[in-house]
Amino acid sequence: MEVEIGNVTSTIRAMVGDALLAPKTLDKIVRAVLEAVKEHEEHGKRAHSERRITGGVSHERDQEER
Confirm whether pTM is higher than 0.85.
Answer: no
| Domain residue extents for the chain | 37-66
Assess whether pLDDT exceeds 80 at residue 61.
Answer: no
DSSP per-residue letters across 7-49: ----------GGG-S-HHHHHHHHHHHHHHHHHHHHHHHHHHH
Q: What is the pLDDT of residue 55?
A: 65
Q: Is pLDDT of 40 > 90?
A: yes
